[in-house]
Amino acid sequence: MTKHFFDVGGNIGQTFDWLATLPHDYSDHTIWIFEPSPRHYAKLIEKCQKMSSKYTIKLCPFGLGGTNDTITFYEKDDDKGDSFEPWLKSDHEVTNIHQGYEVVSSMISLPEFILKVTSPGDQVVLDIDSEGSEYSMLESLVKSPEAIKRVTQIIAEFHHIKNPERFMSKDQLKAEIEKHNIKLLMRGFA
């Protein structure tokens, strides 16, 4: 049995600082870091290099979501708000910025990725701060019995997105996740 920690929305690697404050720092887990925003790669790689003596790290330069797709990734005026969602709000509304180029990134289905890189009996902890993709990602997970069996804990930050009725609501997702006896910590604004 292998233990995995998925840092979905890795940004510049702040999760390592948070893990250091916990009673259990997850150093016994393989740390998977998902970050589709290229403007964060240099700092994220630097942080991963610093933490590599303590953790087994797998850096994934793409996003996770509900489906496999190649779509526009929007850079925002708050560099912690970059998102696959064109409109996003947490405790404040973020605005898309235009820097002379368009970022097009890959999105991989969360349940498909779990089934591909883990094995039956493995344990997965999900720490999701994906700036709006949490809805599609978690909806696809609760609809995948084989993938959700491997998840032991979910920490998810919820955001406001345009047309949220496209997906299950935060309350619906919470109810579905609880049916699987998964430890759930919800943070956020939606």
- The secondary structure of residue 160, as a DSSP letter, is E
Q: What confidence score (pLDDT) does residue 188 get?
A: 80
Task: Name the pLDDT band for 24 (thresholds 50, 70, 90).
Answer: very high
The strand order across the sheet containing 69-73 reads: 63-65, 103-109, 69-73
Q: Where are the alpha helices (DSSP H) in 52-153?
A: 110-117, 134-142, 145-148
Percentage of residues in the chain with pLDDT exceeding 70? 99
CB 136 within 8 A of CB 173: no
Taking only the tens place, the pLDDT of each residue in 69-102 is: 999 999 999 999 999 999 999 999 999 999 999 9
Q: What confidence score (pLDDT) does residue 61 get?
A: 98
CA 169 to chain centre: 17
Q: Residue-wise over 73-103: b if at least 16 C-beta within 10 A, else e?
A: bbbbeeeebbbbbeebbbeeebebeeeeeee
The residues, any chain, with a CB within 8 Å of residue 144's CB and separated by 6 or more, are 111, 114, 115
Q: Residue-wise over 126-135: b if at least 16 C-beta within 10 A, else e?
A: bbbbbbbbbb
* pLDDT above 90 (res 29): yes
Please report, as a single letter, which amino acid is at residue 44: L
pTM more than 0.95:
yes
CB 35 within 8 A of CB 24: no
> What DSSP string runs through 137-153?
HHHHHHT-HHHHTTEEE
